[in-house]
Structure 1
Amino acid sequence: MFPSLYYLVPVLGGYAVTSYYLLKNPHVLHKKKRLPFYCRHISHRGGAGERIENTLEAFDNAVANQTHLLELDCQLTKDGQVVVSHDQNLNRQTGHDVNIRDVTYWELPLYKNTLEVTFFPGHVSSGSDQRMPLLEEVFQRYPDMPINVEIKEDNNELIKKVSDLVRRYHRTNMTIWASMSDRIMKKCQAENPDMPIMFTPRRGLILLLLYYTGLLPFVPLRESVVEAYMPSLINRTYFPHNRLMSNPLLVSLQDKLFMQKGLFQHLKERGIQVYLWVLNQDSDYQRALDYGVTGIMTDFPSKLKAFLQRYEEEQRTSGGTQHDVTGDGVQRNRH
């Protein structure tokens, strides 16, 4: 009755088998990306739960707790200085309703004595360092530390100056371009195409579409890093501004679609590292590792360090094989 099915069924079956084989063996079609760093422990804004976010004191604390990657944000001042700050408007961070672009570096107000942790409401951080550092200071202070630099504004001068600093301090292979905007990311790539880049949210949706249609194993990917929130955090420790994003049914659907071991494993086999943010509880750390992610981004570097030490010890005593990432950021296999 439907003679075309005699042809269609074998074709679809062959496609499914080929896709599955290549999903498990991506090296057949793709050369594995080889970043010079492998990150398990990532400090969000330098560890915003333990010290004032994005300060040198926060970064020092993260490094002391054996972080493998510092995550930070950049803005440009009126006098053209690249400063490390998450917000453009400083009311939340300093109590002063001013924009960074409207003041010179020396006119920047100091941080408040305490700040609420954005991704862990009800918890506050404090510290003795209340100054916003220059990105150049961070590069000088941590010459061998991989750093994830998020460009917060569509500003050509900012992008060029960040790229110039990366080149000046010979950090091209160990500094990640990060942005939530496709437009900004394209400009970052054009300015310095040799730096590794993350998936933007739109590219992340395309990644999921490719995975569920079976096309992912056939498609080359320019990105080296996935940085995504773990959906189960929504309405618990992460409260998105978009009300649609916080719908319980949509959150559950996002979690089922994204938290896929097969997807994460395929990406890792292609040399693409998978980081989940912002995880601040042991149960979330454990869930992320159970699903096989590469790295965990946290506001609490010392808490994550302690968890990973316990986790690695349990893996050793249970006789399993694991990837042990030591404080120097080098991946080693343990049996």
Structure 2
Amino acid sequence: MTFTRLEFGRAIYAVSVFPVVVMVCVMILVAVVSTYIVASAFFTRFPQLSPVNLLVPNSIVKKRKFAAPIRHISHRGGAAEAMENTMDAFKYAAGLGTQMLELDVHLTKDGKVVVLHDLNLLRVAGVDRDVTQTDYDELPALLKKVPVHFAPGTTFETSRNLRIPLLEDVFKAFPTLPINIDPKDENPLLVKAVGELIEKYERAHLTVWGSPNDTIARWCHETNPEVGLLFSMRRVVVVCFLFYLGLLPYVPLKETHLEVPLLSIFLGEDFQEAWGKHAGRQLLVRAANLFLFRRSLYRHLDRRGIPTYLWVLNREKDWKEAFDNGIEGVMTDRPASLMRFLENNRLV
């Protein structure tokens, strides 16, 4: 094969131009990516200036559900210092000055909303039966000694005969105290019943609810969009990925509160002794904690009016780590100890 002079010239031209074209394309790509990174970083820091928020006011930055920061949240009323999810526990926590009660609810067989964490009654009442298959009047009294979930090796003991309370009784007893509700059953009738109680006692402005279960969280929002909403676990993962991709400042969120675990607590000696040391599990926990525990993410959400609460922290070093990283509130089984910590550090 022979080349004409013209064909040879064209070949030489193409070979000489190609690197220039590639270089120009790379420079354009670098410029676009750099601009995107800088813009995302800027709008992460100043979400109120996000183009989406400017075009649709209050779509990115929203009014906070509670005007004052919620620092102190009593998990089940303070399960290590009072019998969990009982009126005794809630009164104890309220007496200490807790800023929010956290509780769990189920629906009994006869349609009563009761405050209880476990579906099965065995751990707290010694009866191997599901609460959803039991009428309210047939529910047994609570045991006088119950293990604390997030304090391995710890139990709470009482001499009092205590019963599982109704959510309605809690609402009546604490009409002005914010309450964080976790509906446990994937049952729309439970969410509907809780929603009716919230409306009956005019507590939409004092309540936040939701579930790690995405279906339950969606039902909560559909039932009453005016009630504060927690992120489901699926939504937490979505938010984290949007954050790492730099897209979060442009995406509206329907949720009002982020509530996530501080996974590093499960690396503590108490949990390791209770669960057994396993290198693979420890590696998984560390990786998940690195993915989830990001100070810049929590600060971005806070600037958008979405506070972050961590659960369930029972040690001073964990409280310090949480507040040092921009967390607004901590959920604890030890409300008296947490209150002393907050007072000593002038956080309340």
Scaled by the length of structure 2, what TM-score is found? 0.86
* Residues 232 and 15 of structure 1: CA distance in aligned 2, closer, same or farther (over 3 Å): same
Deviation at 1:276, TM superposition (A): 0.5
CA gap of 1:62–1:258, structure 2 versus 1, over 3 A, is same
Structure number having the greater helix percentage: 2
* 64, 67, 74: which one aligns with 1:34: 64
Is 1:165 aligned to 2:214, yes or no?
no
Which deviations, in whole Å up to 9, do the C-alpha atoms of 1:175-203 show, x marking residues without a partner? Answer: 11121111111111111121110111111
Match of 2:103 among 66, 72, 78: 72
Identity level (%):
40
Give the 3 Å change call, closer, same or farther, for CA 284–246 of structure 1 in structure 2.
Answer: farther
| Aligned partner letter, 1:183 | T
What letter matches 1:288 in structure 2? A
Q: Deviations over 1:48-96 (max 9, x none)?
A: 1111100000001111111111000001111111100001110011110
Distance 1:244 1:105 in 2: 42
Closer, same or farther: CA 282–150 of 1 in aligned 2, 3 Å: same
The whole-number CA distance in structure 2 between the counterparts of 1:111 and 1:41 is 26
CA contact (8 A) 1:56 1:129 kept: no
**1:82 maps to what in 2?**
113
Report the alpha carbon displacement of residue 126 of structure 1 after superposing the two structures with TM: 2.4
What are the superposed Cα offsets for residues 21-47 of structure 1, whole Å, 9 maximum, x if unpaired? 111101112333321353100011111
In structure 2, relative to structure 1, the CA distance for the partners of 1:150 and 1:245 (3 Å cut) is farther
- Aligned match of 2:131 in 65, 89, 100? 100
Query: What is the aligned counterpart of 2:143 among 88, 112, 120?
Result: 112
TM-fit CA distance, 1:264: 1.0
Query: Which residue matches 1:317?
Result: none
Q: Kindly tell me: are residues 245 and 48 of structure 1, through their superposed partners in 2, closer, same or farther at Cα, counting changes over 3 Å?
A: farther
SS in 2 for 1:284: helix
Distance 1:129 1:70 in 2: 22
> Which one-letter code corresponds to 2:173 in the other structure?
R
Match of 1:16 among 37, 40, 43: 37
Q: TM-score, normalised by structure 1?
A: 0.89
Residue matched to 1:289: 323
Moved more, 159-168 or 250-259: 250-259
1:318 matched residue in structure 2: none
Contact 1:235 1:246 in 2 (8 A): no
1:81–1:233 CA distance, 2 compared to 1 (3 A): same
Distance in 2 of aligned mates of 1:221 and 1:103: 38
Q: Which amino acid aligns with 1:284?
A: D
Structure 1 residue 257 displacement after superposition: 2.2
Specify the alignment match of 2:343 in structure 1: 309
Return 5+ residue gaps in structure 1 as ranges: 313-323, 326-335
Q: 1:161 to 1:245 in 2, by over 3 A?
A: farther
> 1:50–1:126: 8 Å Cα contact kept in structure 2?
no
2:109 counterpart SS class: coil
- Structure 2 alignment gaps of length 5 or more: 1-18, 54-59
Give matches, 1:122-201, under 5 Å: 122-127=153-158, 128=160, 130-201=162-233
Aligned to 1:44: 75
Superposed displacement of residue 129, structure 1 = 5.0
- For 1:245 and 1:119, the matched residues in 2 are separated by 21
Q: 1:144 to 1:251 in 2, by over 3 A?
A: same
Question: Which residue does 2:250 correspond to in 1?
Answer: 218
Give 1:64's aligned amino acid: G
Tell me if structure 2 keeps the 8 A contact 1:276–1:295: yes
Q: Is 1:234–1:246's contact at 8 Å kept on the other side of the alignment? A: no
Question: In 2, Cα distance between the equivalents of 1:178 and 1:66?
Answer: 24
Question: How has the CA–CA distance of structure 1 residues 273 and 54 changed in structure 2, closer, same or farther, with 3 Å as cutoff?
Answer: same
**What's the C-alpha RMSD, in Å, of the aligned pairs?**
1.9
Structure 2 CA distance for aligned equivalents of residues 89 and 276 of structure 1: 26
